[in-house]
Structure 1
Amino acid sequence: MGHLDHAAYGWLTPVLSYAMACIGAALGLRCTVQALAAPTARSRRNWLLTAASATGTGIWTMHFIAMLGFSVSGTEIRYDIPRTVLSLVVAMAVAGAGVFALGHLRARGPALLVAGLATGLGVAAMHYIGMSAVRLHGSIAYDLPAVALSVLIAVATATAALWAALTIRSPLAVTFAALVMGAAVTSMHYTGMAAVSVTVMPSSEALAGATATQFVFPLTVGLGSYLFLTSAFVALTPTAAERAATVSAQRLTRAPGAV
């Protein structure tokens, strides 16, 4: 049985992974709120697409930053590139299903349940597809009760975060919801990793796939840059209330007798 280390670099990878999860969640929630207040169908669609990409990217980046700190004694670790990319696509697709359900279903209660379920399952699907990309000298097994718990955590906390963001739309509420969703993604990851056990089978054969520094790290940096650029764009975009205030001010200045 190989010894598993989930924080080979100390607190660096857990803290960074949580931060990226929060940034992705904050962007996704902010874009979803913008979509719900969008004046046109096209604008709503664009905001929801941005929300899906930001949420999916944040989830994926969190997972693989955390995986940079994952090591197993007695074996090297490689990553299957197609499956790693598939995990990113799945994260974005399922996050997209969640935010589009939230943005288009008329009944808020069912929409919230569908969105929370889709987002939570998306987090779990991304995690376990990403884990299936791991290549090492040995075999990986999972404790099924811990796996089920990790999925339950993801769904429950994602639903709670979406509810908070949509019920109380203040910046403080969105920030709080992002912290909760970031915690959901991170706790789901480490709960899922607690379910892992590895039986090492020493071998001199070269492992297929890429190392974390060859593929995962550069892709993570690229996606992290995308999140920061998107953050700047969203921060500079006025909210519906700000747009309404601007229009009202313009009308007042154009009104007859205005100074």
Structure 2
Amino acid sequence: MNLLMPASYAPSLVALSFVIAVVGAFVALTASAGIVRAGRRISVFNAVTSGTALGGIGVWAMHFVGMLSLRVDMAVSYALPETLVSLIAAVGCSAMALLWVARGPDSLARMLGAGVLLGLGVSAMHYLGMAGMRFGGFLQWSWPLVAASIVIAVLAATAALWLAFAVRSLQARLLASVLMATAVCAMHYTGMEAGSFICTTPASLNFPQGDWLMTSLELPLIVSISAFGMAFVIFIDQMFQRLEHRHRANRLAAAGTPRR
């Protein structure tokens, strides 16, 4: 007999997921300023760094912290392949969207294209992550809510990109980060409401077993290590870039100083 399982959320973890999304978006938008360097040269490495911050931390880590906030009377495991593919999708789409808009921030077509790409990337990450869930039942989807979640992601991501690149100030970047985080979280929790958990087995509290599966008890450790690892790499990269810029400025200043 199929049984609809009620679901609720832990408010503290919902709030934490939003904070993570804001931090990831802010770091990404800050790093994205270095995508286009002097002479209009494109830094693909900075695009990947920005995509890692936004897609890896702001979207992917936020998603799984949001999943941990879910309270449902079923034991849930997560398939590692789908989880890793969802990370690649989030980072890849975020990097391409930021690179695309950075090359022509004054172009409306580029801005709209980047917003659609980023919104679809966030949505793909979310539903790939949910496809990796393993439990004693299945998800029953409300397709109007699925469509609504994707539209929310695209519209809010486009607005956030426009604000971040059209108004280059700290206040605008902060506001854009909050807007981007709102887009990610609104998409996530709307997407969660789109799926109903249907239990088909009396052994619903037993964790599904198998190769390449993580339980919901192991997931926090995996997400924490991944998020801190990505944050550390981004921090080191930004530190070396600041040192490089300072060294270049010192060399230019020394070259412009007349000899006595």
TM-score (norm 2): 0.85
Q: Does the C-alpha gap of structure 1 residues 106 and 186 become closer, same or farther in structure 2, counting only changes over 3 Å?
A: closer
CA–CA distance in 2 between the matches of 1:106 and 1:164? Answer: 10
The alignment's C-alpha RMSD in Å is: 2.8
1:3 aligns with 2:3: no
CA–CA distance in 1 between the matches of 2:139 and 2:148? Answer: 18
Post-superposition CA distance 1:198-228 (Å, at most 9, x none): 21112447613321222x2122112321354
Q: Does the C-alpha gap of structure 1 residues 16 and 236 become closer, same or farther in structure 2, counting only changes over 3 Å?
A: farther
Q: CA deviation at 1:121?
A: 0.4
Mapped contact 2:47–2:96 kept (Cα < 8 A): no
CA–CA distance in 1 between the matches of 2:158 and 2:65? Answer: 24
Aligned residue for 1:141, secondary structure, equals: strand
CA–CA distance in 1 between the matches of 2:134 and 2:90? Answer: 21
Mapped contact 1:123–1:185 kept (Cα < 8 A): yes
Q: Does the C-alpha gap of structure 1 residues 180 and 38 become closer, same or farther in structure 2, counting only changes over 3 Å?
A: farther
1:193 aligns with 2:192: yes
CA–CA distance in 1 between the matches of 2:241 and 2:22? Answer: 20
Specify every segment of 5 or more residues in structure 2 that has no aligned partner in the other structure, as ranges: none
Q: Which amino acid in structure 1 is aligned with residue 174 of structure 2?
A: T
- Indicate the residue corresponding to 1:212 in structure 2: 216
Post-superposition CA distance 1:220-247 (Å, at most 9, x none): 11232135432575378559xx87x957
Post-superposition CA distance 1:181-208 (Å, at most 9, x none): 0111011101111111121112447613
CA–CA distance in 1 between the matches of 2:235 and 2:119? Answer: 23
1:125 aligns with 2:128: no
Identity value in percent = 28
Q: Does the C-alpha gap of structure 1 residues 248 and 206 become closer, same or farther in structure 2, counting only changes over 3 Å?
A: closer
CA–CA distance in 2 between the matches of 1:167 and 1:105? Answer: 11
CA–CA distance in 1 between the matches of 2:77 and 2:161? Answer: 35
- Indicate the residue corresponding to 1:28 in structure 2: 28
CA–CA distance in 2 between the matches of 1:171 and 1:165? Answer: 9
Specify every segment of 5 or more residues in structure 1 that has no aligned partner in the other structure, as ranges: none
Q: CA deviation at 1:108?
A: 1.9
User: How many pairs are equivalent?
Assistant: 250
Aligned residue for 1:210, secondary structure, equals: strand
Q: CA deviation at 1:40?
A: 6.7
- Indicate the residue corresponding to 2:66 in structure 1: 66
Mapped contact 2:139–2:198 kept (Cα < 8 A): yes
CA–CA distance in 1 between the matches of 2:95 and 2:255? Answer: 40
Mapped contact 1:120–1:156 kept (Cα < 8 A): yes
